[in-house]
Amino acid sequence: MDLTEFLGEFQLEAGEKLDAIASQLLCLERDTTNPQPVREMFLAAHTIKGGAAMMRLTEVESLAHALEDLLSKFRDQQRTLDPATADLLFQAIDRLRGLIANASAQSVGSEPDAALVSFASRLRAGVCAPAIEAESGVRRALVVDSSATVRALYTLQLEDAGYAAETCEDGRLALSRATTERFDLLVAGLQNETLGGFELCAALRANPATRDLRVVLTSADAGPRLSHKAIECGAQSLVRKGSLRDAALTNAVQVLA
């Protein structure tokens, strides 16, 4: 029997467990001394880890394991929840949700990439800002787009331009990552789930921690009106989405560098 037959079942249950973790995290934020939400979050993370291990979804397993380890510190009262750690936990939930939703027979046995390994170790240690990455001198870019093709395309172009590029499909998650990690550049499409490019840019400008982050917005139908709006909300530029050979993004990024 092929265990991947149970993938759908795993996704359904893990999704419910993530919902439970998110709602318990909100409870814990309201009362950080209550041990009950921590116990429930820990068990839910443990269940996701065990299921992922059985399914050989190594990426999900490693992230759920790191989450479980951090939660065990709350359970054992070595830590209490602060806003930055709550943000980190929400990021972990969002990342897990993405990995679980996209899990398929192809994800079975696939090892976590460097970005996921680095996030998992940061999560396990409960480190909210990646100090080591900030000191390494490598310029980091975050690509936000709901399309996997666009994310892959821009990652290539940014890497060519000398950036270490990370990707994110959701606007709200991008805002959270930009606030808690250090990026030198954010490239965002206008139409993203939960938070569009204009709103994301405005939110970054409103926060002292991200006020100076350079932002390039991308759109399939760039024109004077949209460019004007992009500048208005604080973006450095708006480029038209084009083909792999299209140098619009590379040019925009080089102007900034």
Partner 1 sequence: LGTVEKTPSAAVRQTTSVTEQSVRRRVLVVDDSVMTRTLERTILESAGYTVLVAGDGVDALQLLDESDVDAVVSDVEMPRMGGLELTAALRQDERWRHLPIVLVTSLDAPEHVERGAAAGADAYIVKGRFDQSELLQTVGRLL
Cβ atoms within 10 Å of 9's Cβ, excluding its own? 11
- 6 counts as binding partner 1 under rule CB under 8 A: yes
Interaction mask 58-77, partner 1, x per CB under 8 A: ---x----------------
- 241 counts as binding partner 1 under rule CB under 8 A: no
Scan residues 34-53 and list those touching partner 1 (CB under 8 A).
43, 46-47, 49-51, 53
Closest CB 127 distance from partner 1, rounded Å: 24
Place of tokens 């806003």: 83
| CB closer to partner 1, 50 vs 130 | 50
- 111 counts as binding partner 1 under rule CB under 8 A: no
Element spanning 215, H or E: strand 214-219
**Are the C-beta atoms of 165 and 216 separated by less than 8 Å?**
no
Residue 238, phi then psi, degrees to nearest 5: -125, 125
Closest CB 194 distance from partner 1, rounded Å: 28
Counting every residue, how long is the chain? Answer: 257
The amino acid present at 241, given as its one-letter code, is K
| CB closer to partner 1, 44 vs 216 | 44
Under rule CB under 8 A, how many of the chain's residues touch partner 1?
18
User: What span, in angstroms and rounded, lies between the C-alpha atoms of 193 and 62?
Assistant: 26
Q: Which ranges constitute the DSSP H helices of 136-170?
A: 148-160
User: What span, in angstroms and rounded, lies between the C-alpha atoms of 97 and 26?
Assistant: 17
- 19 counts as binding partner 1 under rule CB under 8 A: no
- 127 counts as binding partner 1 under rule CB under 8 A: no
Closest CB 214 distance from partner 1, rounded Å: 42
What one-character DSSP code corresponds to residue 218?
A: E
Binding interface with partner 1 (CB under 8 A): 1, 3, 5-6, 9-10, 12-13, 43, 46-47, 49-51, 53-54, 56, 61
